[in-house]
Amino acid sequence: MNAKKIRAFCRPIRIILGAGLIGYGVYSGNNWFFLGAIPLIAGIFNFCPICKITGQCELVGGK
């Protein structure tokens, strides 16, 4: 499995997770859930901070 397939699979999950956390933050009034902006932005811009830090995407298949 190459890095592009992994990123293509993870991108919608990050967007849904981020939007869900922000939505729950609005619903519950708990400001901590606004940290959902991090996975939302990562999904929109197709940037994975974990892959960048660990170098995992480059090891799996490169860009």
Find all residues with CB under 8 Å of 60, minimum gap 6, and list them: 1, 2, 3, 6
- pLDDT per position as a tens digit, 2-60: 556 566 778 888 899 999 999 999 999 998 998 999 889 888 888 777 777 777 665 44
What per-residue confidence (pLDDT) applies to 9?
Answer: 77
Confidence (pLDDT) at 57:
64
The one-letter amino acid code at 51 reads C
Residue 43 vs residues 25, 28, 29, 30, 37: alpha-carbon distances, Å: 19, 24, 24, 23, 10
pLDDT at 19: 94
Q: Give pLDDT, residue 7.
A: 67
In sequence order, what DSSP letters do the residues of 38-53 get, joined into one string? HHHHHHHTT--HHHHH
